[in-house]
Amino acid sequence: MRSVLVRGGRIVDPSQSLDKTGDLLIVDGKIEAISDEIGRMEETIELDARGQIVTPGLIDVHVHFREPGGEHKETIETGVRAAVAGGITAVCTMPNTDPVTDDPAGIRFVLAQAEKAAGARVYPLGAISKNQEGKSLAAIGEMVEAGAVGITDDGNPVMNGGLMRMAMEYAKAFGIPVADHPEDLDLSRAGTMNESLNSTRMGLLGKPNISEDIQIIRDLLLSELTDSRVHIQHVSTAYGVEMIRQAKSRGVQVTAEATPHHLILTDSEVDGYNTNAKMNPPLRSSEDRDAVVQGFSDGTLCVYATDHAPHHYDEKEQTFADAPNGIVGLETSLGIGLTCLVGQGVVDLSTLVDRMSCAPARAFNLPGGTLKRGGIGDVTIIDPNVIWSVNSNEFMSKSRNTPFEGLKLKGRASKTIVDGKIVWNGL
């Protein structure tokens, strides 16, 4: 028997509307009990969590681990280390690897590498289309059988509405959601930042909001038509948020993400051609940012996900137009959530935990997202008072591409427990 007793923490579990001080016992990788006080037991690791917050393990449903094919940026091993250092106990990996993860062998490879790495749990998403070319469907059923929890062509949006409709019908048959990177490539052209006065001033080609809006609308309608589940990734526009809100109110089965960067940054961050402010979708106007915040707060965007996108230093050192999209996020998302969202009164702590654990688990049918008895023994322990500054040199990730370097944050994961094992002991 293998037991961990977490003593005296503030246990916050929105899945059972719980917020109280007490003890939590994990036995053989399962939640065994929550009680005011649990007696001393033999052969049990005791963790003192007084003054700390104890939550169901945090889940990030949008990460890029670059393996196979981009191991100089991140491997599954360094990715799951970065995750647990950030208090994240489970991640969903995107299939835009090289080769693309579009068949059961690809899914099995990701799972095997994750098993060896023994950090955060890894739930792979498979591609929607073969080689993410948007021409014909990938082997969806076989990938689900091998362990895929969803499908997406993230990074290479599906331009063909007929193919997307078919993907949703297949996904429905296999009980998984389609995760949707909504972008019309003809409208976004070779844009490298938000289309705005800022892009004109900087002489950069912009991506207009409508390139995102139009695909959000298409895929909400397709989800409604096929009565299937769609998960809209990294929503960045005010109109997109409103369309999702309206679709939800008429019963469309939609879940949606807000990223830390779209919640707190705007396109003014691109000033000085800062390539760590280059991502897709781009940082947008303050009106868009405010709408994303509102959507996050009212639950329209019910999932907080990073779109962790590691890139090598040299790649981000290129000119703004040539540099790749994306930033790392796994080791800063919790601190940003606690400091810039809870700390600023955007959401309360329980809502943040819901957006980081319960809602992501529900969106992708993952185990976890709860501390109910019998649930998996994935737990995050947070020191809410520790003050720290983002220092990318200390990242467990292989990559350093963050726009948050030097940002002072309050609150951080002190311990991360996966399957009843302490996989991160930070403080």
Binning the chain into helix, strand and coil, the percentages to the nearest 5 are 35, 25, 40
Q: Quote the tokens at residue 78.
A: 């360094």
Least distance from Zn ion to the Cβ atom of residue 49, Å? 36
Positions in the binding site for Zn ion (CB under 5 A): 154, 181
CB of 60 to Zn ion, least distance (A): 14
Residue 403: CB minimum distance to Zn ion, A: 17
Nearest-angstrom CA–CA distance, 183 and 105:
28
Q: Least distance from C-beta 181 to Zn ion, angstroms?
A: 4
Q: Which is nearer to Zn ion, 154 or 195 (CB)?
A: 154
Comparing CB distances to Zn ion, the nearer of 91 and 382 is 91
Residue nearest to Zn ion (CB): 181
The smaller minimum CB distance to Zn ion, of residues 10 and 181, is found at 181
CA–CA gap between residue 34 and residue 24 (Å, rounded): 5
Query: Alpha-carbon distance 411 to 384, whole Å?
Result: 4
- Please name every residue paired with 200 in a beta bridge, in sequence order, or none if there are none: none
C-alpha span between 317 and 423 (Å, rounded): 33
Which residues lie closer than 8 Å to 187 by C-beta, 6 or more apart? Answer: 207, 208, 210, 211, 214
Asked whether 418 and 121 are in contact (CB, 8 A), the reply is: yes
Name the residue nearer to Zn ion (CB basis): 38 or 309: 309
Query: Shortest approach of Zn ion to residue 308 CB, angstroms?
Result: 11
Catalytic residue among 102, 103, 180, 307: 307
Q: Which is nearer to Zn ion, 282 or 369 (CB)?
A: 282
Structure letter (DSSP) for residue 67:
T
For residue 288, indicate whether it is catalytic: no
Closest CA to 219 of 178, 171, 279: 178
60, 360 contact by CB (below 8 A): yes
Tell which residue, 285, 292, 293, has the closest CA to residue 269.
285
CA distance 149 to 112: 15
Q: Active-site residue numbers? A: 307
